[in-house]
Structure 1
Amino acid sequence: MYRFLQVLFYFLFRIFYRIEILGEENIPDTDKLIVVGNHRSNLDPVVISVFFKRQIFWMAKKELYENKLFGKFIGALGAFPVDRFSIDVKAIKTALRHIKDGEVLGIFPEGTRVKEKNYALVKQGTAIIAYRARATVLPVKLEGTYRIFGKFRIIFKKPIDMSKIARPENEEYELISQDIMRRVYGDKEIGNLPS
């Protein structure tokens, strides 16, 4: 079903939007990969998944599962729930299992849709998962709107090899996650990431 919908939405997006994809050369060939992006619309995970060759297993806010039918649908596509307001141990274990199995994990570290970047919203879970999995993080920036026939850009940024980072202190995970989002947005990083 995932592949069928991927192909279907690929043609729909190509028909109704002017989509430009940049930085595909930055996509690493690794089994331990986390796709991390900015989040402005419910369509964001769809559009990234459509234009990414491998299946992405997205962390999705648990509120989406309150509708059981919709929850089963996105679950069938590989998504799994996360509690955005606590350190969700079950979701972290699920994420780590996907990475261990060589599957691509997808995360929106801001935890909600945002109109303007706000690093105070960034959750520490991204850094926790990436460090424990010794994974590579692929930052993705989405630009534009989903207005019909509007222009839209998907920009794959320079990847971050988290296996090169020293063991963080507990309070450093949030700062690392914020620097990952600075890489997404193209802002100056504080220096919490490996070069």
Structure 2
Amino acid sequence: MSLYTAAKTILSAIFYPLYRIRVIGKENVPKHGPVIICSNHISNFDPPVIGITSPRDIYFMAKGELFERVFLRKLLRAIHAFPVKRGMKDRNALRQGLQILEDGKTLGLFPEGTRSKTGTLGKPMAGAGFFALRSNAAIVPCAIIGPYKPGKKLTVIYGEPMDMEAHRSAKTNAKDAADAIMVEIGKLIENYNPQHASLDK
């Protein structure tokens, strides 16, 4: 068993009952080929929650400072994290993200770039649009809804893959493409109705 699989198993055993996690639309994540899962960002726990609810292994960017210690660097890489220098254009991180997609794997992104302190959607950075336009990956919008409080329900919704071909053909700029992705994330949040949500663990 890989460290990634072991971590996913352990975190699932903790997080699912602790936050009463409900997963909707897991079938919308393509089983094969490159995928970018784009989610809103409300907590430091968002990456592991998406990691345990997604049917596919996910690669996430993590702030470069975390990779300065040898042990932590090895651990993060083992669970599919790679470094990014925040506050600047990190070409190495961009290249690594594109390589992950070229290899047919799944990249997890938070278009806002930072956590929302109020829980409302913020404006996206251009990064998600860059990866969406520079790859042939399926773009799956994702919404995390609910408080991270023990005993309270936390819902993770995976929307249907977006059709980005029109944006690619029109050579839409990265910021506008990121805006389009955020609109779909916003729709998931706006249309969510807990009374009619099905459970899909």
Q: TM-score range by the shorter chain?
A: 0.7 to 0.9
Cα deviations by residue, 1:56-112 (Å, 9 ceiling, x for unpaired): 000122243355543332222111112232222111110111111111111111111
Q: 1:26-175 residue pairs with structure 2 within 5 A?
A: 26-66=28-68, 68-115=70-117, 116-119=120-123, 122-165=124-167, 166-169=169-172, 172-175=173-176
Does the 8 Å CA contact 2:133/2:177 hold for their aligned counterparts? no
- State how far apart, in whole Å, the 1-side matches of 2:125 and 2:140 are: 17
Give ranges in structure 1 of 5+ residues lacking alignment.
188-195
Distance across 1 between alignment mates of 2:61 and 2:175: 18
Asked if structure 2 preserves the Cα contact closer than 8 Å seen for 1:61 and 1:111, the reply is no
Q: 1:176 to 1:17 in 2, by over 3 A?
A: same
For 1:180, the aligned partner's letter is I
CA positional deviation for 1:25 = 3.0
Give, in whole Å, the separation in 2 of the partners of 1:139 and 1:97: 21
1:142-183 Cα shifts (integer Å, max 9, x gaps): 0112211111000011211334431425xx211210220121
TM-score by length of 2: 0.83
* Amino acid aligned to 1:42: N
Q: Is the 8 A contact 2:144 2:154 kept in 1?
A: yes
CA distance, structure 1, for counterparts of residue 146 and residue 68 of structure 2: 30
Residue aligning to 1:193: none
Distance 2:163 2:140 in 1: 9
Q: CA 1:71/1:113 → structure 2, altered by over 3 Å: closer, same or farther?
A: farther
Match of 1:192? none
Structure 1: how far apart are the matches of 2:75 and 2:146? 27
RMSD (CA atoms) = 1.8
In 2: Cα distance, 1:113 partner to 1:20 partner: 21
User: 1:177 maps to what in 2?
Assistant: 178
1:58–1:106 CA contact under 8 A, matched in 2: yes
Equivalent residue letter for 1:118: G
Distance 1:117 1:67, change over 3 A: farther
Alignment partner, residue 6 of structure 2: 4
Alignment of 1:13-32 (within 5 A): 13-32=15-34
Where in structure 1 do 4 or more consecutive aligned residues deviate above 4 Å? none
TM-score scaled by length of structure 1: 0.86
Which runs of no fewer than 5 residues in structure 2 stay unpaired?
189-201
How far 1:114 sits from its partner (Å)?
Answer: 0.9
Q: Check conservation: 1:98, 1:104, Cα contact below 8 A.
A: yes
Q: Offset of 1:15 from its aligned partner?
A: 2.3
